[in-house]
Structure 1
Amino acid sequence: MNRRIPLDLGRLTEAERVFDLIVVGAGGAGLTAALCAAIDGARVLLVERTAQVGGTTALSGGTTWVPLTHHAATVNPHDSRAAVERYLDLAVGEHAPRALRQAFLDHGAEAIAHLEACSEVRWRAYPRHPDYLSELEGSTVCGRALEPLPFDGRQLGALFALLRAPIPEFTVLGGMMVDRTDINHLLGMTRSLRSARHAARLLSRHAIDRMRHPRGTRLVMGNALVGRLLLSLSRQVGAHLAVGTELIELHRAGGGGHIEAVTVAQGGQRLRLGTRCGVILASGGFNRHPERRAALLPGIDLAWCPGAPGHTGRAHDAAEAVGAVPGAAGLSPAFWAPVSRRRRADGSEAVFPHFLMDRAKPGFISVNARGERFVNESTSYHLFGLAMQRPENQATPAWLVCDQRALQAYGIGMVRPGGQGLAPFQDDGYLISAPTLAELAGRLGVPPQALRATVARFNTLAERGEDLDFGRGVTAYQRNMGDAAWRGPNPNLGPLQQAPFHAVRLWPGDIGAALGLATDARARVLDAAGRAVPGLWAVGNDMHSLMGGVYTGPGITIGPGVVFAWLASRDALSARSAAPASPSSLPEPSNA
């Protein structure tokens, strides 16, 4: 790959401005599409609007939901195509075309195997990572969710600076990334020799990193996946990357034929670039498009969105201008998580998704403006976010409430476990604390009597280990979110008894688009008549979700993004033999 970044498109000759394939957006799906095309010998240009690659994938856990891969057999050899189909049929139903999930299952295992065989991308099956709707027939507790292997970012050399850093609040000690395994070892390092050794290795590596790098180079989760994709792409001679470059317009031959060119903007200059095979859109979805956001997510402030900054939805404008249409409405146009917000020292705002560490654990409840519970706190973050938005719940914002024991054991939001260093969080209003529930209610603006009654009722249920009100802790997924070491009868239920009491304000944050451009099972973008727009594909969150806005398991945006990126690349290059010129007839860029 051309390692001089950004690639100055203005310096290319007219002949050099023609590529086999152009991919728009360098998140997980876009990087995969460009990598697969380059592996197959194409001269491919990857265009990224921002100055860094990775998109929201780089900020995420990186889990990749693809059933029935060769990894699945290592932890769940009894999973079957029939079971996966039954699960998805029950979970998704008519919210999305069945043909899309059939194509996903037809090709998922092959796509994963191909990437691992031909690149540095590596996954493993997490030993226990249940499907989110584990109460449904056909669900499993492991095997379908793949975890990117940790990656040494030092292998990227100068390209490491191109990799979007994780959310700072998801790191420790000034930029050390930790995954679920690391967290468990760090919390247990005073109780287990094995954990102490693991923690020592992490800390010593990070100490060395900080002497040479602005953040840790041991990458895990989404950063590891993106780092591996970027390294692999950099080793492909036909791959080219242009950052700080925005798609402006798509051009069809003769005004209605094959996509033959794009207009992009880079450094204040507009340039027309040709493509033999077409364009794959992977720009991340509509979430930061002002008009689309207002129409699709009314009342949801952009400040609540924790996603990467690049998903402006402008690629959708360009696609619709050449005939593309959005997919049919599903359960929700977006995927959701409860988020909390805090102003950082540098003036930027942290938007923290509450995925894992707090709300499902013993000693936590969430209450609305009436001081009442409104949701099963151990449900998936998507269903939690949807519940917050129901008008009858009066839960925008909501409050996550815990006692001192729970805060010390698990932390709360951006407050780390241990219960130390609370003053800054309390001083800026992120953490609300009080010696009694009545005083806490007064500071939250909820009825004190209602909050006391809610906690009293919850404590009674917690002692029984049975949540008669919301069924918390009854499914495999929910119990996996709890505390396996909890001594009570239910790993998700524990009373709020130990003063002081604490709360953090929650908002419904959109973590990704579910509504995208309508496509067929080959990721070809469709027009209003259901016909493919020749030479145009959409993957990732630009593609209408095959889950129809239902969150079926961890990594159900990244997994389909990877699989359909591979499918789209293969489909696009299948027409290359009919193109008027071969990539070998074109010179490489003059600054290669």
Structure 2
Amino acid sequence: MNTATRFPADGDALVDLIVLGSGAAGFAAAATAARKGLKVVLVEKAAQFGGTSAISGGAVWLHGTDQARAAGIEDSPEAMRRYLQKTIGPGYNAALVDAYIRHGHEALRWLEAHTELKYALRPLSPDYYPDEEGGTDRGRALEMLEYDGRRLGAHFKDLKMPPAGMLLFGGMMVNRVDIQHFLSFRRSPRSLLHCLKLMGRYAIDRLSHPRGTRLTTGNALIARLATSAFADGVQVWLNSRTESLIVEHGSVVGAVISRDGRQQRVLSRGGVVCATGGFAAGPDAAAQRPHSDAAHLTMSPETNVGDGLRLGQAAGAVAGEKLAANFFWAPVSEVLHKNGVRERFPHLVTDRAKPGVIAVNRAGERFVNESNSYHHFVQTMFATGNTPCWLICDADALNKYGLGLARPKPVDNRALIDAGYLYRADTAEQLATLIGVDPQGLRRTLERYNRDARDGLDREFGKGGNSYNRYMGDPDHQPNPCNAPLLKAPWYAVRLHTGDLGSARGLATDGQARVLDASGAPIPGLYAAGNDMNSLMDGTYPGPGITIGPGLTFGWLAACHAAERLATLPSPVLEQ
């Protein structure tokens, strides 16, 4: 790089760090850099900030956090390495895994000390493959503490709102604990009181806000980081597209950004962090899936079209190859509302593992352990050719747990039936005919499953067979939280398509989040984090929070490295 950064005095801007993307990784980098005294601009293509992180569960999966240590949980780095070696397989990258294990808890500690970020240990949260060597039932998964969105002030309106199907009463956020209280309020005075308090707060909020200001999960995560970033002077440019990176003598020194109807050169002494959210909504995504479900549904925002890959590769970066999967899979359903709006729902935690719910193919046969992780569920859909499939339940299960966008009793779900999303029939055979499934096949499936489920078993696919399965079920249902016979009419079904929560394939990096070129050398001034960074999980899904955890960690590492690098560079010289 030149001994001094030069820029024309004709309106070009100069900052210390440019961050592209406003998800967890982007805001972690921006908030860290700003707190270290850097002048930061965060560029967001969408009209609101938060990206996929804002609609995520917000959990992190980390080794050796202060929260786990305070709970007396012992978890060695070797155990976590063994677990990741087993679950990731041939794509295991020792350098990235070691950096994640070594720096993940350090990053969280720093962010909690210097920003509004606050996490709590989940009392019980098994890894997704808890019986693998090195797997655990608790200690690695942390969940976001709720946050008062009013702390964002005027910026609250710019925070990405979760889809309506993930909210209650049109705008009230709930977390894992809240959901369990809502499922139990009819039989638990404690749960009833909890729900009444939430609804009271929400009613007050709606007097002055378009939605509830009690934020949970990923919305709280982004709001916490954003509040700190704004307080430390981070500029967030919304509706702004990064056209290209500025490269001088092999170093990335800025970006050309389209904003307010014009292009602007922004030079950055510390470089550029790519955290644009990956390419899952882009035109090239279909070609990178195993084979096509014509209605594959991504939960990524429509702006996540691969800008980070495009920009990085144009600057000489290489992308990951031959991942176990190029996406983080999840089954997704979709409804077309009367107003023409399409709403998607990711089937992550609320229905598949619950007793009285099964998944069947066109032959009316089960093909998967419904209580396994969402990633594994879609892997099995692809592997068996069951794309799409159907999630089926009886009246008891729908009334207790809901099904996709359909809510439990006493909610009236007739609008979803009228929209062709929720299918209802008086008998299982009629339901099969209605949805195009073999009635005799479904009858035989129910006979087999119900016979086992009466005893809490699933001899065919092992639903409820490990601690993660049972954690996802109904803890109040015995003898197995995941299994109950389907007996009570009417019968219900929702069509499930293959879907994803985002892309896993990204720019190759080292353990400091520096982007690598074809020779394996870091490109000075170029960093990647979040879904723009090639997944250290190699497109596998070992546990809850394996995207947000690395996003925060490597976003923080990128900002720390940029700040250290910036301290060694001479001051800029204004070209006359």
Per the shorter chain, which TM-score range? over 0.9
Which amino acid in structure 2 is aligned with residue 326 of structure 1? A
Q: How far apart, CA to CA, are the structure 1 residues paired with 2:158 and 2:414?
A: 35
Structure 2 equivalent of residue 127 of structure 1: 123
Aligned Cα root-mean-square deviation (Å) = 1.7
Q: How far apart, CA to CA, are the structure 1 residues paired with 2:526 and 2:237?
A: 20
> Conserved in 2, the CA contact under 8 Å of 1:75 and 1:142?
no
The match for 2:466 among 467, 475, 485 is 475
Q: How far apart, CA to CA, are the structure 1 residues paired with 2:294 and 2:152?
A: 36
Which amino acid in structure 2 is aligned with residue 341 of structure 1? E
Q: Deviations over 1:377-416 (max 9, x none)?
A: 00000000111112xx231110001111111111101111
Structure 1 equivalent of residue 283 of structure 2: 290
- Asked if 1:379 corresponds to 2:375, the answer is no
- Asked if 1:405 corresponds to 2:396, the answer is yes
Structure 2 equivalent of residue 104 of structure 1: 100
More moved, 158-167 vs 183-192: 183-192
The within-5 A match list for 1:275-314 is 275-296=268-289, 298-300=291-293, 304-314=297-307
Q: How far apart, CA to CA, are the structure 2 residues paired with 1:450 and 1:400?
A: 15
The match for 1:182 among 173, 178, 182 is 178
The match for 1:244 among 239, 246, 257 is 239
The match for 1:367 among 339, 360, 364 is 360
Structure 1 equivalent of residue 560 of structure 2: 570
- Asked if 1:519 corresponds to 2:514, the answer is no
- Asked if 1:260 corresponds to 2:253, the answer is yes
Structure 1 equivalent of residue 316 of structure 2: 323
Q: How far apart, CA to CA, are the structure 1 residues paired with 2:254 and 2:293?
A: 36
Q: How far apart, CA to CA, are the structure 2 residues paired with 1:165 and 1:218?
A: 12
Q: Deviations over 1:2-60 (max 9, x none)?
A: xxxxxxxxxx9757601111110011110110111111111111110011111001001
What's the CA shift for 1:76?
Answer: 5.0
Q: How far apart, CA to CA, are the structure 2 residues paired with 1:188 and 1:258?
A: 57
> Conserved in 2, the CA contact under 8 Å of 1:25 and 1:47?
yes
> Conserved in 2, the CA contact under 8 Å of 1:250 and 1:261?
yes
Aligned length: 567
Change (3 A) 1:507 1:55: same
Secondary structure of 1:45's aligned partner: strand
Q: How far apart, CA to CA, are the structure 2 residues paired with 1:241 and 1:388?
A: 40
Which amino acid in structure 2 is aligned with residue 500 of structure 1? P
Secondary structure of 1:291's aligned partner: coil
> Conserved in 2, the CA contact under 8 Å of 1:92 and 1:550?
yes
Structure 1 equivalent of residue 198 of structure 2: 202
> Conserved in 1, the CA contact under 8 Å of 2:369 and 2:462?
yes
- Asked if 1:156 corresponds to 2:149, the answer is no
Structure 1 equivalent of residue 5 of structure 2: none
Structure 1 equivalent of residue 491 of structure 2: 501
- Asked if 1:79 corresponds to 2:75, the answer is yes
Structure 1 equivalent of residue 544 of structure 2: 554
- State the identity as a percent: 44
Change (3 A) 1:427 1:58: same
What's the CA shift for 1:579?
Answer: 2.4
What's the CA shift for 1:244?
Answer: 0.8
Secondary structure of 2:358's aligned partner: strand
Q: How far apart, CA to CA, are the structure 2 residues paired with 1:102 and 1:302?
A: 38
- Asked if 1:68 corresponds to 2:75, the answer is no
Q: How far apart, CA to CA, are the structure 2 residues paired with 1:85 and 1:78?
A: 14
Which amino acid in structure 2 is aligned with residue 266 of structure 1? R
TM-score under structure 2 normalisation? 0.95
> Conserved in 1, the CA contact under 8 Å of 2:282 and 2:302?
no
Q: How far apart, CA to CA, are the structure 2 residues paired with 1:301 and 1:542?
A: 25
Secondary structure of 1:433's aligned partner: strand
Structure 2 equivalent of residue 465 of structure 1: 456
The within-5 A match list for 1:308-457 is 308-390=301-383, 393-418=384-409, 420-457=411-448
Secondary structure of 1:574's aligned partner: helix
Q: How far apart, CA to CA, are the structure 1 residues paired with 2:441 and 2:12?
A: 69
Q: How far apart, CA to CA, are the structure 1 residues paired with 2:117 and 2:40?
A: 19
What's the CA shift for 1:180?
Answer: 1.2
Q: How far apart, CA to CA, are the structure 2 residues paired with 1:81 and 1:159?
A: 40
- Asked if 1:17 corresponds to 2:13, the answer is yes
Q: Deviations over 1:460-502 (max 9, x none)?
A: 1212322221111111100101111113x22111111111111
> Conserved in 1, the CA contact under 8 Å of 2:121 and 2:142?
yes
- Asked if 1:118 corresponds to 2:114, the answer is yes
Secondary structure of 1:92's aligned partner: helix
Q: How far apart, CA to CA, are the structure 2 residues paired with 1:203 and 1:419?
A: 16
- Asked if 1:27 corresponds to 2:20, the answer is no
Q: How far apart, CA to CA, are the structure 2 residues paired with 1:47 and 1:303?
A: 29
> Conserved in 1, the CA contact under 8 Å of 2:12 and 2:265?
no
Q: How far apart, CA to CA, are the structure 2 residues paired with 1:271 and 1:293?
A: 33
TM-score under structure 1 normalisation? 0.93
Secondary structure of 1:271's aligned partner: strand
> Conserved in 2, the CA contact under 8 Å of 1:285 and 1:311?
yes
What's the CA shift for 1:352?
Answer: 0.1
Structure 2 equivalent of residue 590 of structure 1: none
Q: How far apart, CA to CA, are the structure 1 residues paired with 2:30 and 2:303?
A: 18
Secondary structure of 1:247's aligned partner: strand
Which amino acid in structure 2 is aligned with residue 572 of structure 1? A
In structure 1, the gaps of 5 or more residues are 1-11, 587-592
Q: How far apart, CA to CA, are the structure 1 residues paired with 2:295 and 2:315?
A: 28
Secondary structure of 2:97's aligned partner: helix
Which amino acid in structure 2 is aligned with residue 353 of structure 1? P
Change (3 A) 1:211 1:246: same
Q: Deviations over 1:256-295 (max 9, x none)?
A: x111121111122111111112111000001122024434
Q: How far apart, CA to CA, are the structure 2 residues paired with 1:508 and 1:168?
A: 21
Q: How far apart, CA to CA, are the structure 2 residues paired with 1:60 and 1:223?
A: 8
Q: How far apart, CA to CA, are the structure 2 residues paired with 1:500 and 1:74?
A: 49
Secondary structure of 1:332's aligned partner: coil
> Conserved in 2, the CA contact under 8 Å of 1:288 and 1:302?
no
Structure 1 equivalent of residue 481 of structure 2: 491
What's the CA shift for 1:89?
Answer: 1.6
Secondary structure of 1:177's aligned partner: coil
Structure 2 equivalent of residue 40 of structure 1: 36
Structure 2 equivalent of residue 171 of structure 1: 167
Structure 2 equivalent of residue 580 of structure 1: 570
In structure 2, the gaps of 5 or more residues are 1-7
Q: How far apart, CA to CA, are the structure 1 residues paired with 2:237 and 2:40?
A: 11
